[in-house]
Chains A and B, each alone.
Chain A
Amino acid sequence: DADVTQTPRNRITKTGKRIMLECSQTKGHDRMYWYRQDPGLGLRLIYYSFDVKDINKGEISDGYSVSRQAQAKFSLSLESAIPNQTALYFCATSDLERGELFFGSGTQLSVL
């Protein structure tokens, strides 16, 4: 079983719809992240959370919100999706000691 699980794997939606991407992890890490990947731009940080009560904006948080329901769950919402939010979204967790990120398999979101 995957250590970091994202659902759905792919999603097509229409402009103006509310969308939630979900992430759960079994690694026991406190730190969780949401990244967005666009061609030619690499991965950019949307939100990050260092524990259930600590949530922080990343470099591109406008148009997004998050919820940390438990240590193991971190969801990303698009309240009113727009076409330029079409991208590949990754959830990740972090190992504090080694610093590396562990990624989910990604959600490809298309907003029409």
Chain B
Amino acid sequence: AQTVTQSQPEMSVQEAETVTLSCTYDTSESDYYLFWYKQPPSRQMILVIRQEAYKQQNATENRFSVNFQKAAKSFSLKISDSQLGDAAMYFCAWPNSGGYQKVTFGIGTKLQVIP
């Protein structure tokens, strides 16, 4: 089975500090995408960042960056200069490739930002 694992159900970070959320996945595919989605209390699902597996360079979007270790099947999200608005559930997600995009989600990490 191809799965996505988030081992940290809850995390907290001080405002302005840096936090890293972990995600591991299991696949036999060689070409795929990986995503992090954010779900604030409004419950809207928002794409935070996208990584293409064939790219060695880690993706970055403003204060959000990933540490992608393809051999280890690890895809962690780093949030720098944490802000109160970063408080949310964060989901790691991975779509099957091969033309059929059934996206599999981890169980999520709830991030608390402490003022």
Contact = CB atoms under 8 A, between A and B. Distances in A.
Interface of A: 31, 33, 35, 40-45, 48, 50, 58, 88, 90, 92, 94, 96, 98-101, 103, 105-106, 108
Contact of B101 (A31, A41, A88): A31
Interface of B: 6, 9, 33, 35, 37, 43-45, 47, 50, 91, 93, 95, 100-108
A99 B108 contact: no
A33 B45 CA distance: 14
A41 B43 contact: no
B102 to A, nearest CB: 6
B44 A45 contact: no
A99 B95 contact: yes
Most chain A CB within 10 A, of B6, B9, B45, B100, is at: B45
A100 B35 contact: yes
B46 to A, nearest CB: 8
Contacts of A103: 44-45
B101 A42 contact: no
A47 to B, nearest CB: 11
